[in-house]
Structure 1
Amino acid sequence: MGLFQPDTDIFRNRDALREDYQPEEIVGRDDELQQYISALQPVINGDQPPNVFLYGKAGVGKTACTRYLLSELKADAAEYDIDLTTIRTNCEDLSTSYQVAIQLINKLRDPDDQLKPTGYPRRQVNEWLWEELDSIGGTIIIVFDEVDHIEDDSILYQIPRARANGNLTESKVGIIGISNDFKFRESLSSKVQSSLCEKELQFPAYNANELRDILRQRADIAFYDGVVPKEVIAKCAAFGAKDAGDARQSLDLLMEAGDIAVEQGAEEVTETHVDEARASLERSRIVDGVAGLTQQGHLVLYALVMLHEEGETPTRARTIQDRYEIVCERAAIDPLVPRRMRDHLNELAMLGIASRVERNKGEVGGRYYEYSLDTSPDLLLEALDETVDMVGVTEAIQKRLNQSY
């Protein structure tokens, strides 16, 4: 008998819990789907496709709904003899309109006719883009996922206006922009807002009931019958709703709980497995998040941990700056200026390691941010072991370390 054998007790189709799995039906987003359908209706009418902007936190269904509706739209368009092409590009690693244009061109070209990342005049790149789009013809919808990573909004202005400006004659192009940043729209120029944000849809966080429906739908596909009781679904949904209303987190939690059940040779997934899975995922998230920080990021985080252990959080950036400079002195490293130090604080907030809350004290105190830890200090100190050894400990940190061992 070999070392590896197929699991026949817990998982029937584990891939149904993965991020890239597309369910046959979207649950928990009825209102948003109806608004989305209305926004895309002009395509079936043969009209110019609208520009739609979706925003909401990660894991609230923006991308899943887009994949689902565009699949349905393509099928319906074929039935009505409408030539529809959809193009999706993730902008996570793209920061300029130039890079976006190059990637779009390469998606449209044959593999043996690809452009290099750099080295072309901007005007030439734009002309190549119009040529490629016009060669397709018909109706084209371009999806920019994580569109907020694009630092200049040139392409977001040019594509919606390409036909009106005479750059396209054979194609009608619309954009769907997807962003996790609620304030991204405010960063756009007014001329881009009026075109890109022609139709806007906001996706709120899922509540516990919606997450239960999503988890039950996936669990019925992913697991064998009777393996996942309703109590497990409810617990995963409750954790997801409490954290951020994030379906991705809840699905990851259910998958990890299932993996633990398989490892332990259990006959079903239990609430204990969910607790173990949550602890495991939290540890992995922190380890990965801290590992991705620079040395200066580690020092900023350690300063915040110190203040947390001393009961000094939530606190303002200037208080953290003072402690951070002391930490840098102990580590014999030059500190960053306050603005750069705040960049690291904001990165911690983006990673979910810290939280950032805006305060407004009116004319007397003005507006400012307060920061606090949003993660287990025990796990953070474990992940920061090299920084702790380099900087040393305060009395409060030593007390925390003594409790951990």
Structure 2
Amino acid sequence: MTVFERTHAVFDDEDVLRDDYQPERIEERDEELEEYKAYFQPVINGKQPRNIFLYGKTGVGKTVATKYLLSHLERDAERYDDLDITTVYLNCEHLTSSYRVAVNLVNELREEGEQISTTGYPRDAVYDMLWAELEEVGGTILVVLDEIDYIGDDDSLLYQIPRARSNENLHDAKVGIIGISNDFKFREQLDPRVEDTLCEREIHFPPYDGNELRNILDKRSTLAFEDGVLSEDVVPLCSALAAQDRGSARQALDLLFEAGDLARRNGDGNVTEHHVRNARSRLEKRQIEESMKDLTSHDHLTLYTITALTVFGEEMPVRRQTIYDRYEDVATSTGFVRSDRCDPVAPPRCGGGRCRGSS
């Protein structure tokens, strides 16, 4: 018995709407791309690369623009015999220290089977391994650190890499850092010496407006969907909803994909406004569920406390002491005995774990 069969209902190529799709042309970012391109000019001239810092909200084109230009830079550099360009891309989402970033960079540069453990080495030893690997690669090396703000306060690597040549840790390799961040305040948290170097050149990617999102979705939907499947109001509605929220192309594309997926699963021949609005509700619910999974035990108890107060008719806003008293009752009744150091409103100094006793 056949359980699965291929079908092209609704979608022609749904991967066009995925996060990892690299378009042949970047829409609605001409000014940013021109500025970005100018900062890469020293590289194609065989000179020391600039350090570039990109910032803007999620889904405004920072990463896709970076990958687009770097792919062209590597391809165009092949015309010159004296150029050797290597790109190393690293997402720092789960890398909360310079040590962890350095280890992962070493492993990105090493052959399969030669990677090092993520723990157990002195930091200086890891840095020495990194310099050795960069020297082995040689030429011009562009290190892309996406979501660089996850490094937090431990930003020593961001100081060390740009100064590796002047400190004689590197001789042949010329390294440039491209930092990408969604956090506008990240720069303010940097050591002033790091800020001067990392933010040598800056590019701000603003949110998209409704018309820009509509143009992006028009281009992608032509490739993603079967002819005549989308109702006329689908793309404008997806664009408007995303523009009203965060101005994120990622959000608009996710909404369009989810609407198409709902139509496919329902066996509907067209994607309509009804599918878009249902898709929006589903995505919002999914986002809330994912956010709740990341809460600590303390956060769950606090959320439950405020929800209970709301359900039982407590007038909002609730007094802090009322939340505090109810939290104690909930913590005791569920076996989570509140530590004296925990506060149900402010983040706990104990880290928000499961507190038992008064320690």
Confirm or deny that 1:98 pairs with 2:108: no
Q: Is the 8 A contact 2:213 2:249 kept in 1?
A: yes
Query: 1:73 and 1:339, CA in 2 relative to 1: closer, same or farther beyond 3 A?
Result: farther
Structure 2 unpaired stretches of 5+: 349-359
- What is the TM-score when the length of structure 1 is the normalising length? 0.79
The alpha carbon displacement at 1:337 in A equals: 4.9
Q: Is the 8 A contact 1:299 1:324 kept in 2?
A: no
Residue by residue over 1:215-236, the C-alpha shift from the partner in whole angstroms, topping out at 9 and shown as x without a partner, is 1111111111121233100101
- Secondary structure at the aligned position of 1:245 is classed as coil
CA distance in 2 between partners of 1:165 and 1:224 (Å): 58
The alpha carbon displacement at 1:8 in A equals: 2.4
Tell me which residue corresponds to 2:180. 178
The one-letter amino acid paired with 1:80 is Y
CA distance in 2 between partners of 1:168 and 1:297 (Å): 47
The alpha carbon displacement at 1:71 in A equals: 0.6
The one-letter amino acid paired with 2:226 is Y
State which drifts further: 227-236 or 189-198.
227-236
- Secondary structure at the aligned position of 2:141 is classed as strand
Query: 1:87 and 1:255, CA in 2 relative to 1: closer, same or farther beyond 3 A?
Result: same
The one-letter amino acid paired with 1:334 is R
Structure 1 unpaired stretches of 5+: 345-405
The alpha carbon displacement at 1:38 in A equals: 1.2
Confirm or deny that 1:328 pairs with 2:327: yes
Query: 1:322 and 1:158, CA in 2 relative to 1: closer, same or farther beyond 3 A?
Result: same
Tell me which residue corresponds to 1:58. 58
**Residue 246 of structure 2 is aligned with which of 244, 247, 254?**
244
**Residue 210 of structure 1 is aligned with which of 190, 197, 212?**
212
Residue by residue over 1:312-346, the C-alpha shift from the partner in whole angstroms, topping out at 9 and shown as x without a partner, is 35x9xxx5x434312312211416757784348xx
State which drifts further: 31-40 or 150-159.
31-40
Runs of 4+ with deviation above 3 angstroms? 302-313, 335-344
The one-letter amino acid paired with 2:140 is T
Tell me which residue corresponds to 2:8. 8
Tell me which residue corresponds to 1:285. 287
Query: 1:52 and 1:297, CA in 2 relative to 1: closer, same or farther beyond 3 A?
Result: same
Q: Is the 8 A contact 1:299 1:327 kept in 2?
A: no
Tell me which residue corresponds to 1:354. none
- Secondary structure at the aligned position of 2:346 is classed as helix
- Secondary structure at the aligned position of 1:164 is classed as coil
Greater length-normalized contact order (CA 8 Å, ≥ 6 residues apart): 2
Q: Is the 8 A contact 1:303 1:323 kept in 2?
A: no
State which drifts further: 116-125 or 137-146.
116-125
The one-letter amino acid paired with 1:100 is V
CA distance in 1 between partners of 2:244 and 2:305 (Å): 27
CA distance in 1 between partners of 2:107 and 2:310 (Å): 49
Query: 1:267 and 1:336, CA in 2 relative to 1: closer, same or farther beyond 3 A?
Result: farther
The alpha carbon displacement at 1:307 in A equals: 6.3
Q: Structure 2 matches for 1:50-89, cutoff 5 A? A: 50-81=50-81, 82-89=83-90
- Secondary structure at the aligned position of 2:160 is classed as helix
Query: 1:307 and 1:187, CA in 2 relative to 1: closer, same or farther beyond 3 A?
Result: farther
Query: 1:339 and 1:192, CA in 2 relative to 1: closer, same or farther beyond 3 A?
Result: farther
- Secondary structure at the aligned position of 2:9 is classed as coil
Tell me which residue corresponds to 2:221. 219
Q: Is the 8 A contact 2:324 2:343 kept in 1?
A: no
CA distance in 2 between partners of 1:13 and 1:34 (Å): 30
Tell me which residue corresponds to 1:362. none
Identity level (%): 50
The alpha carbon displacement at 1:94 in A equals: 0.7
The alpha carbon displacement at 1:304 in A equals: 4.7
Residue by residue over 1:258-288, the C-alpha shift from the partner in whole angstroms, topping out at 9 and shown as x without a partner, is 0111112111110001011111111111122
- Secondary structure at the aligned position of 1:88 is classed as strand
Query: 1:339 and 1:137, CA in 2 relative to 1: closer, same or farther beyond 3 A?
Result: farther
Tell me which residue corresponds to 1:342. 346
- Identify, as 1 or 2, the structure richer in helix: 1
* Count of aligned residue pairs for this structure pair: 339
Tell me which residue corresponds to 1:148. 149
- Across the aligned residues of Structure 1 and Structure 2, the Cα RMSD in angstroms comes to 2.0
Q: Is the 8 A contact 1:140 1:174 kept in 2?
A: yes
